[in-house]
Structure 1
């Protein structure tokens, strides 16, 4: 069995898992993948008998083959011990006839915590064999930034720069990032949208001048976005965990198929589900749930990916994305691991803003992936409907996933809830017929409606000082990264 990851754009680029985690993205812009992923067969019976931590080890062991058993177990233990408010890590709640997988019980109340409590441990372990430092560059549409900052704060020999679109995240998301403590963290608001910031970060990874300067300082440039396989693969675990729940609660029998509805913009969360499917999870269908920036819906219906459209700022900002980076990995596996094909698609996307896949490939993708999208008004209607019928409050992203799940023909359906409703209190209150001008006050108003308490990390935001106030242009990003590397030494 192959022990190396390869680039989606260059089969000759072979690299160990530790190196892939430290590099984040391949020098030519490709994403790291493992060719033998579809040869793994996870023992479902074993999964249903084990704890979350034991399942994380079982599932990640074949994917991170150059980590020793002791290293991997230690990373998992440090990541998931006393860092989540639920002992289940990712508990399930039945809401109507949909099973809602709650992924927001971590330190920053978003699904990114599941991976970003583990990635710093994996990266720190990988660094030990390199005798180098690492500088993480991460663009965020709202949630990744805070989860990465919290996971990497004060981690020895690692610095982190987070870039978020100015005025295009929720007030809670802004305060979470702007109040972040840590000697090694830098946070910048960027003029533009998420795609502008993400594209520039990818450009910086391929910038020869920056790479040379980093190399001279013995610093590795890497990412905490889901383009990094160390961020992506921990998310596979909760798909198997949801299957364990359904079996152990006699909803299904071992071997039965399950469908999933996943609110997503960058395609990373649903790709982790696809990875679980390749590793033996019995899946009937994945539903890709989008907001008004429905570039993924259009692609899955027509085979044409076209980002040449208006960017719409919505009440589900973590999905306000027009360039879905992880779709590249799906194209790689679905095309028979054809790097020339992936290269052609990505070149066309870069040059023209669009590409089209053959009908045969589209049919293959459509046999496993469905799709739907909701605009803001439909999202608010969904929040209101679920609360009125079930007494459960969903955040805008989770509501999009839930309403998409309701449209699905298959049952059972697991719908991924990706953030606490308290992170988007104003919009949730408005959907429920109440208005509040200030986000922190809105959290307290929402607490009177919501059965779950305000998460500790969000409750603390009222008293924390704003530490990061800088707003920069896209063109300034390289300069602030250079300065951050100096500060890391």
Structure 2
């Protein structure tokens, strides 16, 4: 079997999974994909009889075939150890008639930990003995930044530079990044939104002159965003593990299909569900839940992807995205590997701000994906009703998904709502949704009040932020991001 990866936009340059992870993004700006994806299936009966760690080793063994079994075993043990507050890693809990997949039990209280505790392990194995230093460059809409900083802080011969949109993340998300200690980390706010940061990061990777200057010093760039296949692959595990938990609980019978509803902006989290489906998971539908920045909902409904719209700042900031990078991978697979079509669509997006997929391609997408949207008012109402009626405290992103799922007609399948972050990362908005006046209250005052109002407890890694010094205060324009990366490399490695 051909075990190589190549760009979504060309099949000329084949690389191993280790090389794809180290590069992050293909030289032509495309994302790495594998044509053999789906040829090997997971043994569902075996999955249902085992735990998260075993499933992770098997999923990664299929998706990253040039890693040895012992290498993956060591990576899994390091990534999913005592830094998680539950042995289950990603437990499934009841949510009324549906189920909640809790993805926020890692060290930064967000679903990104599942991948970003693993990615540094995978990178360390991939670059063993090559003599190069690697600078991770990442744009974040809120959660990826801290998860990347936590995962890569202190990793030998590795640095991490994170850009986030100034004033467009929650107070807790900001402090998680701004207080990050470590000699190999750099954090900078940018004047703009997440799409500005993400687009410029892609430009930085495409800057050949910068790459040559860094290479002269033995430094290479890579990414921790979900454009990196090493970020995407670990997320497939929790879809299989969730199914296993439901089967062991007698909720589904082996082989019965399950519906997953996913709050998403960059399309990585829900794409991992599609990968799971290709690997044999019985998926009925994948429901894409959008906030007011509903470019994905419009696309799945009409086939037109149009970023030419006002950017909305919402109470679910990690979804405030208008350019969903991972959708490119779905277009590749759904078009049966038509690189020319994908390259043309991405060129249209860059030059015109929109693209339209062929009717046949849209029909294939709609067979697997459903969609819906929830604005801030609906999100607040869902937070309140989920707490008052079900006794479950959820964050705004999860509330977007729950609101959308509630609006999807029941089809008899078991339904799982992905919960992507601790509600305490957004204490002010959650507290306000529960009817309390937060005027003049700091983020930590809201955190304390939320604990008192609900009888729940904030994760220690979040409540402890109030005692940490702010170490990163840099702010720059988009045009200066490349220079910031270069100066960070000089500081960390030279």
Q: TM-score range by the shorter chain?
A: over 0.9
Give 1:473's match in structure 2, choosing from 474, 477, 482: 477
| Contact 1:405–1:415 (Cα < 8 Å) also in 2 | yes
Q: Deviations over 1:221-245 (max 9, x none)?
A: 1000000000000000000011001
| Contact 1:98–1:402 (Cα < 8 Å) also in 2 | no
1:450/1:112 CA distance change after superposition, 3 Å:
farther
Give 1:449's match in structure 2, choosing from 445, 448, 453: 453
1:393 offset after TM fit, Å?
A: 1.0
1:278/1:240 CA distance change after superposition, 3 Å:
same
Q: Deviations over 1:158-208 (max 9, x none)?
A: 011000000000000000000000110000010000000000000000001
| Contact 1:143–1:318 (Cα < 8 Å) also in 2 | yes
Q: Indicate the residue corresponding to 1:3 in structure 2.
A: 3
Coordinate RMSD, CA, aligned: 0.8
Question: SS where residue 22 of structure 1 aligns?
Answer: helix
1:452 offset after TM fit, Å?
A: 3.8
| Gapped regions of structure 1 (runs ≥ 5) | none
| Contact 1:59–1:237 (Cα < 8 Å) also in 2 | yes
1:129 offset after TM fit, Å?
A: 4.2
Q: Indicate the residue corresponding to 2:320 in structure 1.
A: 320
Name the CA distance, whole Å, in 1 between partners of 2:294 and 2:481: 28
Q: 1:154-169, aligned counterparts within 5 Å? A: 154-169=154-169
1:111 offset after TM fit, Å?
A: 0.3
Q: Indicate the residue corresponding to 1:425 in structure 2.
A: 427
Q: Indicate the residue corresponding to 1:206 in structure 2.
A: 206
In the alignment, structure 1 residue 105 sits paired with structure 2 residue 105: yes
Q: Deviations over 1:46-78 (max 9, x none)?
A: 001111111100111121111111111101101
Q: 1:394-409, aligned counterparts within 5 Å? A: 394-408=394-408, 409=410
Q: Deviations over 1:108-137 (max 9, x none)?
A: 000000000000010111111422110111
TM-score, length-normalised on structure 1?
0.99
| Contact 1:103–1:111 (Cα < 8 Å) also in 2 | yes
Q: 1:108-257, aligned counterparts within 5 Å? A: 108-257=108-257
Q: 1:370-381, aligned counterparts within 5 Å? A: 370-381=370-381
| Contact 2:139–2:225 (Cα < 8 Å) also in 1 | yes
Q: 1:340-379, aligned counterparts within 5 Å? A: 340-379=340-379
Q: Deviations over 1:374-402 (max 9, x none)?
A: 00011001111111111111100001111
| Contact 1:98–1:406 (Cα < 8 Å) also in 2 | no
Q: Deviations over 1:300-358 (max 9, x none)?
A: 00000000000000000000000000000000000001100000000000001100001
Give 2:487's match in structure 1, choosing from 483, 486, 489: 483
| Gapped regions of structure 2 (runs ≥ 5) | none
| Contact 2:378–2:403 (Cα < 8 Å) also in 1 | no
TM-score, length-normalised on structure 2?
0.98
Name the CA distance, whole Å, in 2 between partners of 1:72 and 1:413: 31
| Contact 1:392–1:450 (Cα < 8 Å) also in 2 | no
